[in-house]
Amino acid sequence: MDLDNEGRTVVIVAYDPEIAKYANRVILVKDGIIQYN
């Protein structure tokens, strides 16, 4: 199943940077402030 092609959004909150390699987009938040988008 390809959720991206179906127009769906999945949000994953993880503390392991290795998880980011599976994402199309990564937003880094530190102390409630977006550090990287």
Residue range 1-37, pLDDT digits in tens: 577 778 888 888 888 889 888 888 899 999 999 998 8
Q: Would you say 25 and 34 are in contact if contact means Cβ atoms under 8 Å apart?
A: no
Provide the pLDDT for residue 32.
Answer: 92
Provide the pLDDT for residue 1.
Answer: 53
Provide the pLDDT for residue 24.
Answer: 85
Domain segments of the chain as ranges: 1-37
Please indicate, yes or no, whether the overall pTM of this predicted structure exceeds 0.85.
no
**How many alpha carbons lie under 13 Å from residue 29 in its C-beta half-sphere?**
8
In terms of phi and psi (left: phi > 0; alpha: psi -120 to 50; beta: otherwise), the region of 7 is left
Distance of alpha carbon 13 from alpha carbon 23, whole angstroms = 11
Contacts of 19 (CB under 8 A, 6+ apart): 12
